[in-house]
Amino acid sequence: MAARPAALTRPFVVLAAMTLAMHVISRTTGSGWLVVVVSGLLAVLGLSAVLPALALARMGVEVQAPTDATAGTAVAITITARVRTSPGKLRLDAPASGWVFLQGPSTGSVNAIPARRGVFEHVDVEVRSAAPFGLVWWRRRMRVRLARPFGVGPAPLDGSATPPPLTEGGADALMRVWLSPELVRGLRDYTPGDPRRMVSWVATARHGRLMVKELEEAAAPVQLTLVVDLRGDDDSAEVAASQAAGLATTALRAGAEVVLATAEVGGPRLGAVASALQVSRRLARATADGAPAAPSTGCSVYVVRAAGG
Amino acid sequence: MRLLALLKRANANPPPEESKALRLSVFVAVMAAALGLVSQGVAAAGLGPAVMVGIPAGYVCSHLARHRPGYLRKAIVGLLAAAALAHFMLAAAGVSRGSITELRIPLAELFLIVQVLHSFDLPARRDLLFSLLSSLALVLVGGVLSTSPRYGPYLAVWATAGVVSLVLAHRSQLAVMPQLVPGAASRSAQRQHGLWRAARPVAGVTALTLVTAAATFLVVPTVGSPRLLGAPARLTRGAVVPSPKACRTPA
């Protein structure tokens, strides 16, 4: 995008007004020195209005972003600015960052916070300059293509606080996963080697001898299919994606096998995820362009749906 | 106490300006403008030495005290400025009606006194730029009063220092932001040439501005004869009476 004027500063307006006043005074008083001063002020005003545009026109920016990020969390993005000695300032528009000072060719990292999830193949950069006098600001917006796509996953909402209602199958097993990972089957006498934390003091007081808790054997891994339907307004889709991320990561931590059913640009997709990173990447690619993949039968299914869909 | 707190908040200083180069360039511009005006012979006895001593002392004091709130200093400067204004109003009251050009000398003295007082309260960049703008007013008055080429060197020094001040003020404004690390080539050049590397862009802009100003001067319309805004002091020629008997004193 070409450079455009952004703002006239108050000093510019004051200087322009004083130039006009001086011109009038010089005409009425016949003072030659004031004509010299007016010429100088006109030169300053003219250069301050033109030179920033020239500085921006010759500026180039390269951006390197990490492969993965999370919405709402700061991520370091490397910027390389090809600029001559004229000073200016730069910031990222999407994802948003603060202003950084540019002077001469330079490179460095800025902390940007992606607002929404998605897969980004370019980054919007805004550069401003008012060099050399700081009287008139010009700006230029650039869309910089990334060498590799930058995936932003949703910020997981904590799914462990309240067990979700299920649409079909496996209710007991899933409740066990979320509510009580450690169930007591019975009590028995203490034998040397039993962990101290397994001692039941209530039972010990009742029976008069050391009693320990006996737990249920570890259940077979639970398989959970999360159907993520993001068709709806954008804000609801973000919330639904965050809920799905929270549920998936909680289930993974509890030892469940998680399958995500989503819709992507290339069509519906059904696939297992084994880590929080994979959950983030799958949900970064999920879109609201179509219906998510249908889940397999014979497994626990939970549907996360965006409002308005 | 609440009113005092409100006053303190209204007069709270913005972040102090740390750039000595900026302070020095503004000081040079202000001194050139003030001395140029004093050289026109408009200053009352004692005001010239007060300008030559007061402004440098004020700038040193402002730099050393830039981190302090300075409420007492601001109050004293304000009171003295009010006294200077009152003195000007008294002088203006004594000026005959219809001759506003006689106000130029008292006005010039007022500008000089305010400039000296303001020099003692320049903690931030905003204050330095305001002082630079005030020097433009001094140049305006000096330019009107001057009738000889001797004013030229003062104007040249003021213009050069003024342009340098604007450039340094803008760089200082941007330097408070986080900065990307300069590239290897740029760092190497900075190590090798240091001060010249930093000064070259400023020198280049100054030269460009002066050349552009000279070119602008060639196309700006020349001034004509002065057109006074006041009424003429006397008639240019006597009234002609066509007949000796046309005007009679009534009986």
Task: Spell out a b/e string for B7-40, using b for 16 or more CB atoms within 10 Å of the CB, else e.
Answer: eeeeeebeebbeeeebbbbbbbbbbbbbbbbbbb
B95, pLDDT greater than 60: yes
In degrees and rounded to multiples of 5, residue A120 shows phi and psi of -110, 130
Most A CBs within 10 Å, among B180, B192, B209, B222, to test the A interface:
B180
The 10s digit of each residue's pLDDT in A63-119 is: 999 999 999 999 999 999 887 767 889 999 888 888 988 887 888 888 999 999 999
Q: Does A190 touch chain B (CB under 8 A)?
A: no
Considering only A85-89, A195-199, B10-14, B90-94, which range has the smallest mean pLDDT? B10-14
Shortest Cα distance, chain B CAs vs residue A67, angstroms? 22
A297, pLDDT greater than 70: no
What is the average pLDDT value for chain B, to the nearest integer? 81
Query: What is the pLDDT, as a whole number, of residue A184?
Result: 62
- Per this entry, what is the length of chain B? 251
Q: Do A46 and B174 touch (CB under 8 A)?
A: no
B32, pLDDT greater than 90: yes
Q: Do B166 and A134 touch (CB under 8 A)?
A: yes
State the distance between the two ends of chain B, measured CA to CA, in whole angstroms.
77
Question: Which residue type, as a one-letter code, is found at position A65?
Answer: A
Q: Do A134 and B173 touch (CB under 8 A)?
A: yes
| Chain A, nearest residue to B153 by Cα | A33
Highest mean pLDDT out of A46-55, B34-43, B92-101, B180-189 = A46-55
Residues of A in contact with B181 (CB under 8 A): 106-108
Q: CB within 8 A of B94, min separation 6: which ones?
A: none
Residues of A in contact with B152 (CB under 8 A): 33
Higher pLDDT, residue A244 or B2: A244
| Chain B, nearest residue to A45 by Cα | B209
Higher pLDDT, residue A132 or B189: A132
Strand residue runs (E) in B5-103: none
Q: Do A133 and B170 touch (CB under 8 A)?
A: yes
Shortest Cα distance, chain B CAs vs residue A91, angstroms? 11
**ipTM of the predicted assembly exceeds 0.90:** no
Long-range contacts of the stretch A297-300 (C-beta < 8 A, 24+): A298/A169, A299/A169, A299/A170, A299/A223, A299/A224, A299/A225, A299/A259, A300/A166, A300/A168, A300/A169, A300/A170, A300/A171, A300/A173, A300/A174, A300/A222, A300/A223, A300/A224, A300/A225
Query: What is the pLDDT, as a whole number, of residue A221?
Result: 58
Shortest Cα distance, chain B CAs vs residue A164, angstroms? 46
Query: What is the pLDDT, as a whole number, of residue A173?
Result: 44
Of B143, B166, B182, the CB nearest to A34: B143
3-class SS of residue A196: helix
Q: Do B223 and A32 touch (CB under 8 A)?
A: yes
pTM, two decimal places: 0.74
Residues of A in contact with B217 (CB under 8 A): 35-36, 39
Q: Which two three-digit tokens encode residue B212?
A: 């552009």
The CA distance from A148 to A285, in Å, is 14
Q: Which two three-digit tokens encode residue B19?
A: 């750039």
The 10s digit of each residue's pLDDT in A121-145 is: 999 999 999 989 999 999 999 999 9
A305, pLDDT greater than 70: yes
Place of tokens 């999920």: A286
Q: Does A127 touch chain B (CB under 8 A)?
A: no
